[in-house]
Amino acid sequence: MQKEKIINRFLRYVKIDTTSDPNNPEFPSTEKQWDLAKLLVKELREIGMSDVHLDENCYIMATLPSTVNYQVPTIGFVAHIDTSPDFNGTNVNPQIHKNYDGNDIVLNEKENIVLSPAYFEDLLQYKGQTIITTDGTTLLGADDKAGVTEIVSAMEYLINHPEIKHGTIRICFTPDEEVGKGAHLFDVEKFGAEWAYTMDGSQIGELEYENFNAAGAVVTIEGKSVHPGYAKGKMINSMLIANEFISALPSKEIPQETTGYEGFFHLHDISGNVEKTTLEYIIRDHDMELFVNRKKQFQSIADDLNKKIGKELIAVQIKDQYYNMKEKVVPVMHSIDIAEEAMKDLGIKPLIKAIRGGTDGSQLSFKGLPCPNIFAGGHNFHGRYEYVPVESIIKATQVIVKITEIVAFRFK
């Protein structure tokens, strides 16, 4: 596979601003996502894909027809075109560092922003490789434009190498994954695959079919503002009640104190004054029973505080976001076996682990499309220290190609 061609494709994609907007209910949530979508439609047609279609909600689907004369399961590959609103995604200026020497990478000399292996130890496993980074002022967008690059590049490679036998392959690029809506309007029936893979993981080798059960929670606390000089027995400070609520949750069950399968409560936004305070949480656990208990615990804290105060000042809204896809993937466990075999054939050590987060694959699995997750190669997503080794993008591209070969062979 041509390294420079893959680099240029990735750079072309990340320079297009596709930041999504969590506050806009429209599809897509930002008009600028259409810019990359339209470019991809043009490119997919140019490389020879069939049935290329961009719908009214910014979902792109396309087909690579089978090259065998026997029945093979139709499989799919999915990536998202938007980037995270959590950090600046405008005017991305990627930097290329060839033959990385294992030392600090200065992202921005003027602002003294340094990507250092002393802090980001994973960098050291990519010595000698080509690393693409940010310039320190934006995110990079490897999440998930590395995945988009890999899928397009793999399809082009298969088209240019007809000697590689494969069944029908479907691909889809979705909007708004970063704001939790990427699978909401995904037409599983139209896609028509028996199973698919999201190319949306991190470091090379990742293969994931378990993820958190997830809910979002909003706590609204009402207070009463009175002049401090006359506040005795009258003022109700909502911020102090908020502090009591926060303190009542387990102090060690937070993201920075947990790992693996351990769940957590994460306070990610707070705003308030004396009269009203709002707390926004995410609630996560891999085990469904523990997840349900976490939500009950969250609500009971509010109920207990309301009883203590003697008034209904605390209101809680909890909304489930997605569930652990494991139960939907296990019945088609051969999808994992095939991906694992593909990695091993390419000399990649599979890292099969649970996702401490979510993916479009979770929602798609519950919509009827089992959809485990494969590495896209990037690190430190959603921030200025994001980077991706080019060799990891190439390997992920090769994994896609190898999976299609194995499926055609296994079902012959």
pLDDT tens per residue, range 153-210: 999 999 999 999 999 999 999 999 999 889 999 999 999 999 999 999 899 999 999 9
Strand order in the sheet with 351-352: 50-54, 60-64, 169-174, 75-80, 195-201, 373-375, 206-208, 351-352
Please check whether residues 164 and 297 belong to one and the same domain.
no
Angle at CA of residue 20, ends 16 and 25, nearest 5°: 140
Query: End of a domain among 322, 353, 381?
Result: 322
155 in the same domain as 41: yes
Query: Which CATH number belongs to the domain containing residue 32 in this structure?
Result: 3.40.630.10
Q: State yes or no: is 177 an active-site residue.
A: yes
- Quickly count: other Cβ atoms within 10 Å of residue 178's Cβ: 24
Strands 60-64 and 169-174: antiparallel
pLDDT classification of 279: cutoffs 50, 70, 90: very high
What is the dihedral sign for C-alpha 175, 181, 187, 193?
positive
CA distance linking residue 211 with residue 366, whole number of Å: 13
Residue 397 is classified by DSSP as H
pLDDT in tens, 219-278: 999 999 998 988 898 999 999 999 999 999 999 999 999 998 999 999 999 999 999 999
Q: Is residue 187 domain-shared with residue 202, that is, in the same domain?
A: yes
Shared domain check, 328 and 296: no
Instruction: Please identify which of the residues 82, 176, 200, 360 carries the catalytic annotation.
Output: 82
The two structure tokens encoding residue 138: 């934006």
Of the candidates 177, 206, 208, 285, the residue annotated as catalytic is 177
Q: What is the CATH number of the domain that holds 263?
A: 3.30.70.360
The mean pLDDT value for 6-23 works out to 97
Mean pLDDT of the residues in the chain? 95
For 251, the domain range is 213-322
Structure tokens at 37: 């979508």
Judgement on whether residues 336 and 237 belong to the same structural domain of the protein? no
Residue where one domain finishes, among candidates 322, 354, 372: 322
**39 and 17 housed in the same domain:** yes
**Confidence at residue 359, expressed as pLDDT on a 0 to 100 scale:** 76
**Same domain, yes or no: 239 and 145:** no
Kindly state the DSSP code that residue 174 receives in the 8-state scheme.
E
Looking at 288, 322, 356, the residue that finishes a domain is 322
**362 and 390: one domain?**
yes
328-347 b/e with 16+ CB inside 10 Å = b? bbeebeebbebbebbbeeee
- Residue 321 pLDDT grade (very low, low, confident, very high; cuts 50, 70, 90): confident
Clarify whether residues 108 and 234 are in a common domain.
no
333-387, pLDDT tens digit by residue? 999 999 999 999 999 999 998 888 777 888 999 999 999 999 999 999 999 999 9
> How confident is the model at residue 118, as a pLDDT?
95
62 and 128 inside one domain:
yes
Distance (Å, rounded) from C-alpha 43 to C-alpha 135? Answer: 27
Task: Name the domain count of the chain.
Answer: 2
Q: From 237, 261, 235, 250, select the one nearest 300 (Cα to Cα).
A: 250
Q: What pLDDT does residue 230 have?
A: 86
Cα–Cα dist 198/196, whole Å: 7
* φ, ψ at 130 (rounded to 5°): -95, 120
Same domain, residue pair 283 and 246: yes
Please indicate, yes or no, whether residues 128 and 194 belong to a single structural domain of this protein.
Answer: yes
Separation CA 143–CA 378 (nearest Å): 7
Q: What pTM was computed for the model?
A: 0.89
Task: Give yes or no for residue 412 having a pLDDT over 90.
Answer: no
- 235's tokens: 């003022």
